[in-house]
Amino acid sequence: MLAERINRLTSSLVRDILAAASSPGVTSFAGGLPAEHALFVPDLAALPAGALAGALQYGPSEGEPALREQVAAMLSAQGLPCTAGQVLILNGSQQGIDLVAKLAIEPGRRVLVESPTYLAALQSFRLFGAELDGWGSDEGMPPAGRLEKGLRTDTRLTYLNPTFQNPSGACYSHSERQALAAELDCHSLIVFEDDPYRDLAYDTPAPPPLVSHLQQAPWVYQGSFSKILAPGLRLGYLVAHPALFPHLLRLKQAADLHSNRLSQILVCDALQTGKLPAHLARILPVYRARRDAMADSLQRHLGDLARWQLPAGGLFFWLTLAERCDTMALMRDLLKEDRVAIMPGEPFFAVPDARSCIRLNFSHADAGQIDAGVARLAGRLRTLLCH
């Protein structure tokens, strides 16, 4: 009775962890959740007169024209010149992953992803029957060389998260992006760049998007308002090469007609009136301080047990444990005995990896909770490694 692809829907382990992580008394390093007090609270009463006219009626599938203009201007300023006509407003950037998967994947299609990569993209690509290849685990090599090693003649899509990646926190430099783009231009595939963390830069601004360096390859670029305003708004956007845009628009129409108009009006107002940059200026110091607090706690409690890079942006530390360890068991024991939630590394790999890794979010807990949680993590890890 059910479609064959339903068998490919992977387990709900991640949803289970996230549900457990939100129970009272649990310190959560598990999800990519903004801090509660860092959520943008829209002021409906302050909207200009008439701004809400039409908000409750059906709207254009492409998105509200004024918001598309704002997004095009924002991206052009970030180094990806584009017009409002190339912008498609999404109900969250997770929708862009679904639309691109529908556009480019059929059973058996080879898709190349970073290793590790965003686990919900893997779930979506698998649902549509992709055969996944991973690149990136050979840390001694420059990214373009590693990418080349992973590419196969029949790869038709690559999914990249080059800026403060989820989960690794990695950010490719300007020259690495140029070299990767030049490599990708030599192959016949769609380049899909996912960029929801760009504005959460704690040290220096991120280099322009990788797709801005492409000369030949068709591309899709997407971003999100979830991490910088509020995920409950469910608002993101994509910009696409002219050869792909009409198909993505039709897929969006078929999926849900258009994105939530009320959210679009609120976000458009936040962009037009400068509330968005003001909000960012308020939350960046909070997240930077939490990142630094976690770096300090990790050094003190886990310095001999794991290695990591300080993330220059985004929301996560990615730890490679010094010894092999069952990170699923670590996650379960830590949640049950210590009331601390973490994400095991396994679900972030398209192909099994020999390393034992965990992902820790630093935006949700405060500095005190971070230190107590990391201390409990270190204690639980030592216990597990002794057995």
Q: Given the rule CB under 6 A, which residues bind ligand PLP?
A: 32, 92-94, 118, 161, 166, 194, 196, 224, 226, 231, 236
Q: Residue 94 or 155: which CB sits closer to ligand PLP?
A: 94
CA atoms within 13 A on the CB side of 107: 6
Q: Which CB atom, from 315 or from 330, has the smaller least distance to ligand PLP?
A: 315
CB 68 within 8 A of CB 84: yes
Q: Output the residue with the shortest Cβ distance to ligand PLP.
A: 92
| Positions of E strands within 209-279 | 219-224, 236-240
**Which of helix, strand or coil describes residue 36?**
helix
Give 30 or 381: the residue with its C-beta nearer to ligand PLP.
Answer: 30
CB-based contacts of 119: which residues, under 8 Å, 6+ apart?
14, 167, 347, 348
Smallest gap from Cβ 262 to ligand PLP, in A, equals: 17
Least Å distance, CB 32 to ligand PLP, is 4
Task: Provide, rounded to whole angstroms, the least separation between the CB of residue 242 and ligand PLP.
Answer: 24
Least separation in angstroms between CB 236 and ligand PLP:
4
Output 59 or 231, the one with its CB closest to ligand PLP. 231
Tokens of 374: 């990391």
Q: Please identify, using beta-carbon distances, which residue of 64 and 194 lies nearer to ligand PLP.
A: 194
The residue written with tokens 């949680």 in the block is 373
**Cβ 196 to ligand PLP, closest distance in Å?**
5
Radius of gyration of the chain (CA): 21
Give 3-state DSSP helix, strand, coil % of the chain, rounded to 5. Answer: 45, 15, 40
How many angstroms from the chain centroid is the CA of residue 133? Answer: 19
